[in-house]
């Protein structure tokens, strides 16, 4: 399988740009400091060597008739004063610094006239280099401010980065094809006509067909939305411009909208082509009437709507957008002529997972015991990206274990590493904690054995993995579309099995059950507020965007939800305790074996029930 080699190196490019700007900034500072140094060396150094004179001293000297000459130079704030007396003129010279020559002249004019002091105003030719350095130095704060602004704008991307093009200007098209996407056959079937249209638009136009403008791909991250968009472009042999919704989010008002405009201008130049906007919810979420960044977002979204409406019929541009939060999108985006086609990209089913595993196994070495079907069975709910990651991790594990090829156990380890975390065999655990963990995990396993809807135990371990002190893994041998109420209730009982075992066997409860409690409470809450599974409340949905909307249900309903959540959890906890009390001998035996062996396989576990 070709990996996504042509994925934009957007981040690197942005980093390079920032680096370039910083270098430019440093160079500019160096220039300014250089100019300042020249200025100081030519101007300041002389001054430092001369003897300075204070203004009050000058007035006293004038009054006492001790001044022979006052020399001023236009454009300079230093005044040369020659004291009266004998000896070399240079010896008698002093310097006085004044804020402005003009003002100083006016101030002392009267005194000078009276005392007959020689007053000279020179038009000293200024070294042009010095002049530039001087003005550059005085402009320093302004220049710094402008450069800083430019840097921020550049980081924000005003530089006009309006989408990464794959193909088009340089003729390169995405190399991804439909055959690089495993599973998703129906979705591919739906999109094949888009490919055909991009290949020969005229045939469709001649027939009077209206071409879809926008296609929205809904799905969890990693389900292959980007891959599909690229494959459409690859199959049709057209360029692909990709941009992420978050790249339109700008600090300065109007910039997001201008980037949308630029993106479409670029697309029109290289049409026929595909525009792919990932994470469209970043700009396409429902418009609000608020101010600030919201208004900026609204402007960006409005511009996107305008651009999509403004396509000419002969412009063969298809906009594909991806999101995993469809409920967030502004309704206007989904109107006819815009994203009027929506395709859900689901997480792969059993066959899909096997196909993805096989596809991603192509350039790896596997031992003969590897069974992709069974791995697919153990990875229900995994996305394509996660499955690709499993195989990559298993290759790393196999290399570390110095295996000749990737074995089935390397893959199983990779799955556990991804789901529960890395095994921490070296962590020192006290005997008390080990005992607590052993009973906790044995509790989960034993309780679930007595729950008909729960799947069989695959492995129980008290070796810490990730953040967990131990774990009970269950087999996943079925892809389910719907989950029944009984199943949810029993799942809560299995989750409570850990806490119940701690209480019954050790008369103690610990923090180890926190995650189980969180998950169980979540299930109870969803049963009542999302799935409408409560007998008293009935089939109502309390899913609201804003907590204020809950007010329409009245306090009685809200209180009932709170009460029923408690009832569900209490019942689950009690049921778990009852199951364990009736099977104490099995609970003890499983816990003892865990303390001894640290890990129990599914076969070993089943033996306790024979």
Catalytic residues: 441
Which of 32, 62, 96, 182 lies at the binding interface for ligand ATP (CB under 6 A)?
182
Residue 4 as a binder of ligand ATP (CB under 6 A): the answer is yes
Q: How far is the CB of 384 from ligand ATP (least distance, A)?
A: 2
Q: How far is the CB of 459 from ligand ATP (least distance, A)?
A: 27
Q: How far is the CB of 392 from ligand ATP (least distance, A)?
A: 10
Which of 73, 76, 324, 521 lies at the binding interface for ligand ATP (CB under 6 A)?
324
Helix (H) or strand (E) holding 319: strand 317-323
C-beta contacts of 80-88 below 8 A and 24+ residues apart: 81/53
Block residue for tokens 């000749």: 404
Which of 236, 241, 329, 356 lies at the binding interface for ligand ATP (CB under 6 A)?
356
Q: How far is the CB of 182 from ligand ATP (least distance, A)?
A: 4
Nearer to ligand ATP by Cβ, of 89 and 179: the residue is 179
Bridge partner list, 460: 472, 600
Q: How far is the CB of 229 from ligand ATP (least distance, A)?
A: 8
Q: Report in angstroms the alpha-carbon separations of 495 from 377, 454, 466, 469, 513.
A: 22, 11, 19, 15, 9
Token pair in block for residue 593? 């074996």
Q: How many chain residues touch ligand ATP (CB under 6 A)?
A: 21
Residue 227 as a binder of ligand ATP (CB under 6 A): the answer is yes
Site for ligand ATP in 270-299 (CB under 6 A): 278
Pairing of strands 78-83, 93-97: antiparallel
Q: Give the Cα separation of 406 and 402 in Å (integer).
A: 10
Residue 68 as a binder of ligand ATP (CB under 6 A): the answer is no
DSSP3 helix / strand / coil % (the chain, rounded to 5) = 55, 10, 30
Q: Give the Cα separation of 159 and 172 in Å (integer).
A: 23
Q: Give the Cα separation of 603 and 610 in Å (integer).
A: 11
Residue 167 as a binder of ligand ATP (CB under 6 A): the answer is no
Q: Give the Cα separation of 25 and 144 in Å (integer).
A: 9
Which of 191, 260, 322, 442 lies at the binding interface for ligand ATP (CB under 6 A)?
322
Residues 528-567, one symbol each (x = binds ligand ATP by CB under 6 A, - = not), give: ----------------------------------------
Q: Give the Cα separation of 358 and 376 in Å (integer).
A: 10
Q: How far is the CB of 355 from ligand ATP (least distance, A)?
A: 7
Token pair in block for residue 77? 């704030």
Q: Report in angstroms the alpha-carbon separations of 2 from 21, 64, 235, 470.
A: 35, 95, 15, 38
Q: Give the Cα separation of 596 and 460 in Å (integer).
A: 13
Nearer to ligand ATP by Cβ, of 183 and 214: the residue is 183
Is residue 414 a contact partner of residue 397, using CB atoms and an 8 Å limit?
yes
Range in contact with ligand ATP (rule: CB under 6 A) among 88-96, 101-109, 151-159, 219-227? 219-227
Residues with Cβ within 8 Å of 417's Cβ and at least 6 positions away in sequence, in order, are 393, 397, 423, 465
Residue 235 as a binder of ligand ATP (CB under 6 A): the answer is no
Residue 173 as a binder of ligand ATP (CB under 6 A): the answer is no
Q: How far is the CB of 371 from ligand ATP (least distance, A)?
A: 19
Range in contact with ligand ATP (rule: CB under 6 A) among 223-231, 409-417, 514-522, 539-547? 223-231
Site for ligand ATP in 387-416 (CB under 6 A): 388
Nearer to ligand ATP by Cβ, of 3 and 131: the residue is 3
Residues engaged in binding ligand ATP (CB under 6 A): 4, 181-184, 219, 221-227, 278, 322, 324, 356, 359, 384-385, 388
């Amino acid at each position: 399988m070709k990996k996504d080699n042509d994925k934009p190196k957007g981040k690197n490019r942005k980093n390079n740009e920032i680096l370039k700007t910083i270098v430019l900034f440093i160079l500019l500072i160096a220039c300014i400091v250089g100019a300042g140094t020249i200025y100081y060396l030519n101007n300041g150094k002389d001054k430092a060597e001369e003897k300075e004179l204070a203004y009050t001293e000058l007035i006293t000297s004038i009054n006492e008739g001790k001044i022979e000459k006052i020399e001023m130079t236009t454009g300079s704030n230093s005044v040369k004063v020659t004291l009266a007396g004998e000896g070399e003129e240079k010896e008698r010279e002093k310097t006085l610094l004044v804020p402005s020559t003009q003002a100083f002249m006016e101030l002392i004019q009267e005194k000078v006239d009276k005392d007959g002091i020689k007053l000279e105003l020179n038009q000293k030719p200024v070294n042009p280099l010095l002049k530039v350095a001087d003005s550059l130095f005085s402009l320093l704060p302004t220049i710094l401010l402008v450069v800083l602004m430019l840097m921020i704008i550049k980081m924000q991307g005003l530089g006009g980065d309006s989408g990464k093009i794959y193909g088009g200007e340089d003729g390169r098209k995405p190399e991804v094809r439909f055959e690089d996407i495993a599973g998703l056959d129906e979705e591919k079937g739906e999109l094949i006509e888009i490919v055909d249209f991009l290949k020969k638009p005229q045939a469709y136009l001649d027939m009077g067909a209206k071409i879809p403008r926008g296609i929205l791909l809904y799905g969890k991250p990693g389900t292959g939305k980007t891959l599909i968009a690229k494959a459409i472009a690859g199959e049709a042999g057209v360029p692909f411009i990709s941009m992420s919704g978050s790249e339109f989010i700008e600090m300065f008002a109007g910039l997001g909208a201008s980037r949308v405009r630029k993106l479409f201008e670029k697309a029109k130049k290289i049409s026929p082509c595909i525009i792919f906007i990932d994470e469209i919810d970043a700009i396409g979420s429902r418009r609000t009437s608020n101010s600030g960044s919201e208004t900026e977002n609204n402007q960006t979204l409005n511009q996107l709507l305008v651009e999509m409406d403004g396509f000419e019929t002969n412009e063969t541009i298809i906009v594909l957008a991806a999101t995993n939060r469809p409920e967030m999108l502004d309704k206007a985006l989904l109107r006819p002529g815009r994203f009027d086609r929506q395709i859900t990209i689901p997480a792969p089913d059993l066959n899909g997972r096997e196909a993805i595993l096989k596809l991603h196994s192509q350039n790896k070495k596997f031992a003969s015991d590897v069974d992709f079907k069974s791995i697919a069975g153990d990875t229900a709910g995994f996305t394509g990206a996660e499955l690709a990651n499993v195989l990559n991790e298993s290759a790393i594990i196999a290399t570390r274990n110095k295996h000749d090829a990737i074995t089935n156990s390397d893959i199983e380890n990779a799955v556990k590493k991804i789901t529960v975390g890395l095994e921490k065999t070296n962590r020192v655990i006290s005997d008390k904690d080990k005992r607590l963990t052993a009973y906790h995990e044995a509790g989960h396993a034993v309780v679930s054995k007595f729950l008909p809807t729960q799947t069989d135990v695959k492995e129980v371990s008290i070796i810490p993995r990730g953040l967990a002190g131990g774990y009970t893994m269950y087999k996943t041998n079925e892809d389910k579309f719907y989950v029944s109420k009984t199943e949810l209730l029993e799942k809560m009982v299995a989750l409570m099995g850990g806490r119940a075992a701690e209480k019954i066997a050790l008369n103690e409860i610990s923090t180890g059950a926190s995650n189980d409690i969180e998950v169980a409470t979540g299930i109870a809450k969803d049963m009542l507020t999302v799935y409408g599974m409560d007998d008293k409340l009935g089939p109502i949905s309390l899913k609201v965007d804003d907590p204020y909307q809950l007010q329409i249900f009245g306090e009685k309903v809200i209180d009932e939800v709170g009460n029923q959540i408690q009832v569900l959890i209490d019942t689950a906890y009690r049921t778990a305790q009852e199951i364990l009390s009736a099977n104490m001998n099995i609970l003890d035996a499983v816990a003892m074996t865990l303390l001894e062996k640290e890990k129990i396989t599914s076969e070993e576990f089943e033996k306790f029930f024979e």
